[in-house]
């Protein structure tokens, strides 16, 4: 028995981690309750080590929960009380970490409010949502509207049948789940970025950008670390220009951070919502707090920082995030609140800057957005960063 196979066998304890299958893929015995197991991501050092690990798991009759070949990652369930020191120190293993759950940054109590003025209906003339107008995006449209810029919405999916959206491609990281948006959050985010400039509904910040729906969150708005890692790896491979990440969690993830650093190094602009933990939070969520990411707080229609918006060091800028009207599945529109709604304003603005000057680096785009932002009175840098973005001013300086 190989050394890695022995370590895995000892950890799995004869399959009590809930992964063991027979040769035709049927579970052997009763699967233990989830509370007695933990999902772990095993990152192997290279492709050879990855293939060897899969081979040893197969020899043990263990079916991984997930495989992410692009980052040499395998996800398995192990007994909650298992000691992972031997696996972590194995020569073929780069890292072992918990497969945590990330959550979307929308306020659950306000998620699916009724459609009403000033939110749009397909039966009414098109409106410019207040947030899109407040950042000055309409002043750019006579020159550019986004062109061929590729924006990935790493989220719950995006409705491919909404008449106010054009989705170029869908990629689903969640095995066995439908690729359409079962929640509505991703469709709402996409609408703020790129709802079409037509005669009905709403219009997004950059209405001609190319939207890519990267589904990593389920109908409840939750996604595993491994799903996000897979989505980021896909975005890098497929050369996205901007990635919108309207989600977060309190803990860091070394594997997610690694992919974010890779994306940044490739020139991809990464935008993330700061979190909805309010005035007493003291810190913003991961991955927004990474230096490679543009972290976005949420503002209100009266130009204050929203009471739900997380506070803390690392906020880059602020954007509208309260009472935001945008698209949802079912060819409809609704208002939502959250830093989730603020981030896509920044992603759309970044896309407009890139449409004007494709050579702009992520750091230069951050600088342009920060130096042209308007400070909101009465709020500190830990509340708002550099202030409310002004897309038109940033565009003129690009």
To 10 degrees, the CA torsion angle through 393, 240, 71, 273?
40
CA–CA dist 244, 298 (Å, integer) = 15
Task: Tell me the Cα Rg of the chain.
Answer: 22
Task: Write the DSSP symbol of residue 65.
Answer: S
**Is 162 an active-site residue?**
no
Task: Please spell the DSSP secondary structure of 324-381, one letter per residue.
Answer: EEEEETTTEEEEE-SHHHHHHHHHHHHHHHHHH-TT--HHHHHHHHHHT-BPPTT--H
**Is 155 an active-site residue?**
yes
**Is 90 an active-site residue?**
no
CA–CA dist 194, 205 (Å, integer) = 6
In Å, how far are 48, 87, 260, 265, 389 from 385, measured between CA atoms? Answer: 44, 41, 21, 23, 10
The active-site residue, picked from 340, 347, 379, 383, is 340
Strand intervals (E) in 235-355 = 242-245, 247-248, 269-273, 293-299, 317-320, 324-328, 332-336
Q: Mutual orientation of helices 225-237 and 254-265 as an angle, nearest 10°?
A: 10
Indicate the SS3 state at residue 275: coil
Residue that has been written with the tokens 């909805």 in this structure? 276
The residues pairing with 295 across neighbouring beta strands, listed in sequence order, are 272
Task: Please spell the DSSP secondary structure of 91-111, one letter per residue.
Answer: TTEEEEEE--EEEE-S-GGGT
CA–CA dist 359, 355 (Å, integer) = 10
- Is the Cβ–Cβ distance between 88 and 45 less than 8 Å? no
Task: Please spell the DSSP secondary structure of 123-190, one letter per residue.
Answer: TS--B--HHHHHTTGGGTTTT-S-TT-EEEEEES---SS-TT--EEEEEE-STTS-SS-SSSHHHHHH
The residues pairing with 294 across neighbouring beta strands, listed in sequence order, are 271
The active-site residue, picked from 99, 100, 103, 155, is 155
The active-site residue, picked from 162, 185, 188, 345, is 185
Instruction: Calculate ∠ Cα 219-172-349, nearest 5°.
Output: 85
Provide the annotated active-site residues: 155, 185, 340
């Amino acid at each position: 028995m190989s050394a890695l196979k022995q370590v895995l066998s000892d950890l799995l304890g004869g399959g009590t981690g809930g992964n063991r299958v027979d040769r035709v893929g049927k579970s052997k015995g009763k699967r233990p309750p989830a509370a007695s197991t933990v999902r772990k991501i095993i990152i192997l050092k290279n492709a050879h080590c990855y293939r060897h690990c899969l081979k040893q798991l197969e020899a043990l009759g263990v079916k991984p929960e997930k495989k992410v070949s692009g980052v040499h990652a395998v996800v398995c369930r192990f007994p909650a009380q298992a000691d992972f020191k031997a696996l972590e120190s194995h020569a073929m293993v780069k890292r072992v970490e918990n497969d945590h759950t990330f959550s979307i940054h929308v306020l659950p109590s306000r998620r699916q409010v009724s459609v009403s003025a000033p939110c749009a209906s397909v039966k009414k003339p098109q409106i410019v949502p207040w947030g899109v107008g407040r950042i000055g995006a309409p002043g750019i449209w006579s020159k550019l509207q986004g062109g061929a810029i590729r924006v990935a919405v790493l989220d719950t999916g995006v409705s491919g049948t909404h008449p106010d959206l054009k989705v170029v491609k869908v990629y689903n990281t969640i095995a066995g789940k439908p690729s359409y948006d079962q929640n509505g959050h991703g469709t709402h985010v996409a609408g703020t970025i790129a709802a079409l400039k037509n005669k009905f509904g709403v219009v997004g910040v950059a209405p001609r950008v190319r939207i890519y729906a990267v589904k990593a969150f389920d109908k409840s708005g939750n996604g595993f670390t491994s799903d996000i890692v897979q989505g980021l790896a896909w975005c890098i491979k497929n050369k996205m220009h901007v990635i919108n990440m309207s989600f977060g969690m309190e803990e860091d993830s070394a594997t997610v951070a690694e992919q974010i650093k890779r994306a940044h190094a490739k020139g991809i602009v990464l935008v993330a919502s700061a979190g909805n933990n309010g005035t007493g939070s003291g810190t913003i969520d991961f991955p927004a707090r990474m230096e490679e990411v543009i972290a976005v707080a949420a503002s209100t229609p009266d130009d204050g920082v929203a009471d739900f918006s997380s506070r803390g060091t690392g906020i880059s800028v602020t954007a509208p995030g309260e009472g935001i009207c945008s698209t949802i599945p079912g060819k409809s529109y609704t208002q939502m609140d959250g830093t989730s709604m603020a981030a896509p304003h920044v992603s759309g603005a970044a896309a407009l800057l890139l449409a004007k000057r494709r050579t702009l680096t992520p750091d230069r785009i951050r600088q342009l957005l920060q130096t042209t932002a308007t400070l909101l009175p009465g709020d500190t840098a830990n509340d708002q960063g550099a202030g409310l973005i002004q897309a038109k001013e940033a565009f003129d300086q690009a």
